[in-house]
Amino acid sequence: MNLFTRRHFLTQIGSFAGATYPAMMALGLLKSAPVHTMDWQGSGQGKKIIILGAGLTGMAAAYELAKLGYQCTILEARDRSGGRLFTARNGATTEETDNGKSTAVFSEGLYFNAGPSRIPHHHQLTLHYCKELGIPLEVYNNINEASYYFSEGKGKLANQKIRKREIHNDMRGYMSELLFKAIDSKQLDTTLSKEDAEKFLEYIRAEGGLNIDNLYKGTARRGYSELPGSGTKTGNYAAPHPLADMIGSGLANPEFFNVAEYAIELQMTMLQAVGGNDRIATELGKKVGRNIRYRTEVTSIKNGSEGVTITYTDNAGQHQLQGDYCICTIPLTVLSDIDHNFSSPVSRAIDKTAYIQCGKIGMQFRRRFWEEDEMIYGGITHTNNLLYQIFYPSNDYLGKKGMLIGYYNFNDRAKQVGDMSYAEREKLAYEKGMLVHPQYEKEYEQKAFSVSWHKTKFSMGGWAIYSDEERKSLYSHLLQPEKQVYFAGEHLSYLNGWMAGAFESARSVVTALHARVSDQRIAYPKVS
C-alpha cells in the first residue's frame, strides 16, 4: 500500500501556502512546510460515509470529509459527543456496567477532565485543531516540585507527605556524591580530554549540589525549612533525608521518582483547554453536529458487494443504514460484541486487543487549601496506595472553591477501585486523601463523581495497549480497510490514550479513503 515515498506522500498532502509547518520540521524533512491544514485534490463526489462513534476520531474525520465533499452520518450511542474526552461538570452523567448511572452534582463553574486532561506540546494535530476551532489554551502544570510523594506504611519515611523537590534533589545529590567517591579519573580520561574531564566533574558537582568537599549535605533546592524574608530572615533548609530511608520507603522506585518528569509525553510544556478539554469536542460538534444521530446503538456491520450496511437501534426500534464506506471508531472492546462479517484476522484483532483499566474521581472542596495552606498550584502528588495520584487543578488559581482529582490510577489499582460502588470509591478517596491532606475533613463538600473507564458503557477501557508482538499480530490487521470498512481511533496509533492519537488516526483514514475514492493512489501514511 505504500505506493510513494514518505517525502512524496508528505508533499502530496501538505499545503505549502499556509503558515504552520511544525510537523515536517520535527520530522527533519523540511525546514519550512505546513502539514496541518489538509489540502487534498479531488472531490468526495457526495459519497456516503457512515461514521461509527462521535468521539474525536469520528468527528474529526467527518469534519475533514465534509470539506472534501463527502456526505457523512455519525452514529453515536451516547447522548453526547466526545466519547472518552469527557469533562465532568454539574449534570454530567456516566453509566457503568456494574454500577448503573451516575450524575455529577457540582457547583457552577467547577469541573474536572475525567478523560484526557493534558496536551503535550508536541501533539501537533491536537494543537492544530484547537487553533483552527478557536479554543483557548492554558498551561497544564504537570511539573510541580512542591507537590508530594507519600509512601503509606513503608519504611522510615512512611506516612509523611514529602515535597517532591526534597526527594528529587536528595537523590541527585547522593548520586553525584557516589560518583565522586567511585570515580577513577583515568576512566574519564579515556574518552575526554583532561580539560573536558574536569568540566564534566564540575557538571556532576553542580548537578548534585555538592559542597566543596564533593559531599552532599543538602541545598536550598530541596526546599526551605525556614523561608527567607526581610530583615534577618536568611532562610534555611533542613538536612537531607538519609539515602537508606528514601530507598527503604520506596521513594527511589520508578513508581515515584521521575515518573512525571522525564517521559517526553509528560515533559513541560503541557496544555489544556480553558474551561475543560471537552471544549474540543464541543467545538468540533458545532462543525459536524447536524450529522450526528445520538442514542443510536450499532448492532451489526456488514460489508456487501455495493457498500456497507449498518444496523442500529434507537428509541424507535431497529434501523438499517446504507453507505458507500464506513469508518468504524468504536473501541475494540465494544466492537467485539457487535455482529460483523469481517475476515478472521481482523475479527481476531478486534477480540484480542487489550485496553488499560483506569479510573478517576473528581471531588469538590469549599476551599483551595492546597494553594492557601500548602503552596501547591497544579501538579500531582504520587502515592503508593490505591490513589496513586492526586491531581491539583491547573485552572482558576486563588479561586474560592476547587476540585481535586482524588485518584487517577491504572491497572491493578484501577481494577480494585473499579470493582467498588460509586460510594465506596468516594469513601476510599476521602480516607486515603485524608492521609495526605487532613483538610479534607473540614473542606470536602461531599460531592464526588467517579469514572472507571474499563467499566464504562460504550468505552469499556481507557485505551488500547499493545506489546511489540501484538503490534504485528493484532494491530497491523486493522490498518488496512476491511473491504468498505475503515478502522480508526487512538487504538490505531502509537499515541494510545492521547487525543492526538485520535486526530492522527482520523487524518490517516481520511487520507486513505479519499485516495481510494478520488483515485489519487495515496495510501495510509507510512514512514518509509
Site for a copy of itself in 453-512 (CB under 8 A): 479, 488, 492-495, 501, 504-505, 507-508
Q: Is residue 375 involved in binding a copy of itself (CB under 8 A)? A: yes
Q: Is residue 204 involved in binding a copy of itself (CB under 8 A)? A: yes
Q: Minimum Å distance from CB 431 to a copy of itself?
A: 20
Grid cell 474525520 — which residue?
Answer: 61
The alpha-helical segments, DSSP class H, found in 43-93 are: 56-67
Q: Minimum Å distance from CB 422 to a copy of itself?
A: 30
Q: Is residue 411 involved in binding a copy of itself (CB under 8 A)? A: no
Sign of CA dihedral 116, 120, 124, 130: positive
Q: Minimum Å distance from CB 144 to a copy of itself?
A: 5
Q: Kindly tell me which of 28 and 317 has the beta carbon lying closer to a copy of itself.
A: 28
Let me know: does 507 contact 64? Beta carbons within 8 Å. yes
Q: Minimum Å distance from CB 83 to a copy of itself?
A: 17
Residue of 92, 162, 271, 522 interacting with a copy of itself (CB under 8 A): 271
Size of interface with a copy of itself, in residues (CB under 8 A): 110
| Crossing angle (nearest 10°) for helices 194-208 and 164-182 | 150
Let me know: does 280 contact 273? Beta carbons within 8 Å. yes
Residue of 7, 156, 194, 233 interacting with a copy of itself (CB under 8 A): 233
Q: Minimum Å distance from CB 345 to a copy of itself?
A: 17
Q: Is residue 213 involved in binding a copy of itself (CB under 8 A)? A: no
The C-alpha atoms of residue 188 and residue 202 are separated, in whole angstroms, by 13
Buried (b) or exposed (e) across 181-212, using 16+ Cβ within 10 A? eeeeeeebeeeeeeeebeeebeebbeebbbee
Q: Kindly tell me which of 43 and 203 has the beta carbon lying closer to a copy of itself.
A: 203
The C-alpha cell of 308 is what? 456497507
Q: Minimum Å distance from CB 36 to a copy of itself?
A: 9
Q: Minimum Å distance from CB 425 to a copy of itself?
A: 28
Q: Is residue 253 involved in binding a copy of itself (CB under 8 A)? A: yes
Residue of 81, 113, 124, 282 interacting with a copy of itself (CB under 8 A): 124
Residues 26-85 contacting a copy of itself, CB under 8 A: 26-28, 32
Phi first, then psi, for residue 377 (nearest 5°) are -120, 95
Residues 163-192 contacting a copy of itself, CB under 8 A: 165, 169, 171, 175-176, 178-179, 181-184, 187-188, 191-192
Phi first, then psi, for residue 298 (nearest 5°) are -70, 130
Residues 307-336 contacting a copy of itself, CB under 8 A: none
The C-alpha atoms of residue 505 and residue 332 are separated, in whole angstroms, by 14
Q: How many CB atoms lie within 10 A of CB 338?
A: 18
Q: Minimum Å distance from CB 236 to a copy of itself?
A: 8
Sign of CA dihedral 15, 19, 23, 28: positive
HSE-up of 189 (CA within 13 Å, CB side)? 4
Q: Is residue 517 involved in binding a copy of itself (CB under 8 A)? A: no
Q: Kindly tell me which of 3 and 375 has the beta carbon lying closer to a copy of itself.
A: 375
Q: Minimum Å distance from CB 86 to a copy of itself?
A: 22
Q: Kindly tell me which of 65 and 77 has the beta carbon lying closer to a copy of itself.
A: 65
Residue of 3, 8, 194, 244 interacting with a copy of itself (CB under 8 A): 244
Q: Kindly tell me which of 26 and 423 has the beta carbon lying closer to a copy of itself.
A: 26
The C-alpha cell of 339 is what? 455482529
Stretch that binds a copy of itself, among 47-55, 110-118, 194-202, 318-326 (CB under 8 A): 194-202
Q: How many CB atoms lie within 10 A of CB 35?
A: 27
Q: Minimum Å distance from CB 376 to a copy of itself?
A: 7
Let me know: does 394 contact 138? Beta carbons within 8 Å. yes
Q: Tell me which residue of 78, 90, 86 sits closest to 114, measured CA to CA.
A: 86
The C-alpha atoms of residue 55 and residue 446 are separated, in whole angstroms, by 31
Let me know: does 117 contact 142? Beta carbons within 8 Å. no
Q: Kindly tell me which of 27 and 105 has the beta carbon lying closer to a copy of itself.
A: 27
Residue of 66, 105, 220, 435 interacting with a copy of itself (CB under 8 A): 220
Q: Is residue 206 involved in binding a copy of itself (CB under 8 A)? A: yes
Angle at 528 between CA 270 and CA 129, to 5 degrees: 30
Q: Minimum Å distance from CB 290 to a copy of itself?
A: 27
Buried (b) or exposed (e) across 88-122, using 16+ Cβ within 10 A? bbbebebebeebeebebebbeebbbbbbbbbbbee
Q: Is residue 224 involved in binding a copy of itself (CB under 8 A)? A: yes
Q: Is residue 91 involved in binding a copy of itself (CB under 8 A)? A: no
Residues 436-455 contacting a copy of itself, CB under 8 A: none
Q: Is residue 226 involved in binding a copy of itself (CB under 8 A)? A: yes
Q: Minimum Å distance from CB 122 to a copy of itself?
A: 5
Q: Minimum Å distance from CB 407 to a copy of itself?
A: 21
Q: Tell me which residue of 449, 422, 499, 441 sits closest to 110, measured CA to CA.
A: 449
Q: Kindly tell me which of 79 and 195 has the beta carbon lying closer to a copy of itself.
A: 195
Q: Is residue 158 involved in binding a copy of itself (CB under 8 A)? A: no
Q: Tell me which residue of 50, 488, 61 sits closest to 310, measured CA to CA.
A: 50
Binding mask 338-367 for a copy of itself (x = CB under 8 A): -----------------------------x
Q: Is residue 14 involved in binding a copy of itself (CB under 8 A)? A: no
Buried (b) or exposed (e) across 358-369, using 16+ Cβ within 10 A? bbbbbbbbebbb
